[in-house]
């Protein structure tokens, strides 16, 4: 078998629909496996109430969120 015949045979094999579909499926599977390997869960943290930073020219001071009138909102939802 000459080198030209070998390349012709390889071209016929590699361009068949089955080989192309299997190659795509294997590539998608490898991408999925790499995603699972690199996936990192976010660490569980207890939910803390949001605080905002009061803007001043000095060092920032953390204050609790208040409504428009300046009073703190009740945590249980009652007035």
Q: Is residue 7 part of a domain?
A: yes
| Residue 66 near residue 72, CB atoms below 8 Å | yes
Write down the mean pLDDT value for the chain.
Answer: 78
Q: Is residue 26 part of a domain?
A: yes
User: pLDDT tens across 20-34, in order?
Assistant: 999 999 999 999 999
User: pLDDT tens across 1-59, in order?
Assistant: 899 999 999 999 999 999 999 999 999 999 999 999 998 776 666 666 676 666 656 66
Q: Is residue 45 part of a domain?
A: no
Spatial separation of the C-alpha atoms in residues 14 and 53, rounded to whole Å? 63
Q: Is residue 78 part of a domain?
A: no
Q: Is residue 14 part of a domain?
A: yes
Nearest 5°: phi and psi at 18?
-65, -45
Residue 9 lies in domain: 3-38
Half-sphere exposure of 55 (CA within 13 A, CB side): 0
Spatial separation of the C-alpha atoms in residues 52 and 74, rounded to whole Å? 17
Q: Which of 74, 75, 50 is nearest to 64 (CA)?
A: 50
Q: Is residue 29 part of a domain?
A: yes
Q: Is residue 8 part of a domain?
A: yes
Work out how many domains the chain is built from and give that number: 1
Q: Is residue 66 part of a domain?
A: no
């Amino acid at each position: 078998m000459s080198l030209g015949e070998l390349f012709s045979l390889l071209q016929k094999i590699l361009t068949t629909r089955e080989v192309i579909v299997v190659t795509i499926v294997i590539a998608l599977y490898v991408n999925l496996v790499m995603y699972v390997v690199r996936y990192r869960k976010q660490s569980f943290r207890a939910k803390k109430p949001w605080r905002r930073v009061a803007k001043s020219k000095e060092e920032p001071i953390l204050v609790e969120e208040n409504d428009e009138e300046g009073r703190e909102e009740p945590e249980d939802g009652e007035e």
